[in-house]
A = this chain, B = another copy of it.
Amino acid sequence: MELLKERIKKNGKVIGEDILKVDSFLNHQIDVQLFQEIGKEFKKRFNTEKITKILTVEASGIGVACITAQYFDNVPVVFAKKYIARNLAADVYESKVFSYTKGTEYLIRVDKEYLNPDDNVLIIDDFLANGKAVAGLMDIVRQAGARVAGVGIVIEKSFQGGRTAILQENVRLESLARIQSLADGQITFVD
């Protein structure tokens, strides 16, 4: 997606060898107009699928999931919770996720009420790196007996293992910007 790649080139900041800071438009400050274009692009790419639900994980996936849902006939968004909330039901699907960024393991949870066997779920997230969060979301969809229609990612760090892990599960992956390398402070896209 050219518009997104231009924006990454303009506002993205490389930190070290593997961190791309895009919090001026993606995951701290949010450019809603850009998110609308992202949502339209996901709709174009998953147009043949009859999506019934969009699934993401808190926090930074929520904005892009909500804006995107508008282009899929306003299907409900469900976001998996990372932390224990007083008001979360006991009856949940849960999956363990290892975070490379934080060096810790955490649980993600979805109330069983919000995923059903007849759901055709589009998983949306802002970043794909090692793919552990997406793997956890796919695990939860399968626990519910539902189908993963595909995975839509805004920015994929293609030099990490996430893409391979998803494709090995025979799940369709659409990443709107694919980063080949962040070496030497330079952002290089795939192709």
Of the candidates B28, B85, B111, which one forms a contact with A78 in the assembled complex, judged by CB atoms under 8 Å apart? B28
- State the Cβ distance, A99 to closest chain B Cβ, in Å: 10
Tell me which of A69-77, A138-146, A166-174 binds B: A69-77
Chain B residues near A183: list those with CB within 8 A.
none
Please tell me if A58 contacts chain B, counting CB pairs below 8 Å: yes
B81–A28 touching, CB < 8 Å: yes
Please tell me if A1 contacts chain B, counting CB pairs below 8 Å: no
Given contacts A59-B58, A102-B86, contact A66 B35 (CB under 8 A): yes
The answer for the CA separation of A170 and B101 in the assembled complex, in Å, is: 41
A78–B29 touching, CB < 8 Å: yes
A101–B75 touching, CB < 8 Å: no
Please tell me if A30 contacts chain B, counting CB pairs below 8 Å: yes
Please tell me if A15 contacts chain B, counting CB pairs below 8 Å: yes
Of the candidates B19, B70, B77, which one forms a contact with A29 in the assembled complex, judged by CB atoms under 8 Å apart? B77
What are 18 pairs between A and B in contact, CB < 8 Å?
A23-B87, A28-B114, A29-B76, A29-B77, A29-B78, A29-B113, A30-B66, A30-B69, A30-B77, A30-B79, A32-B74, A32-B76, A36-B74, A58-B59, A59-B81, A63-B63, A67-B67, A85-B101
A interface list, Cβ under 8 A from B: 15, 19, 21, 23-24, 28-33, 35-36, 58-60, 62-63, 65-67, 69-70, 74-79, 81, 85-89, 101-102, 110-111, 113-114
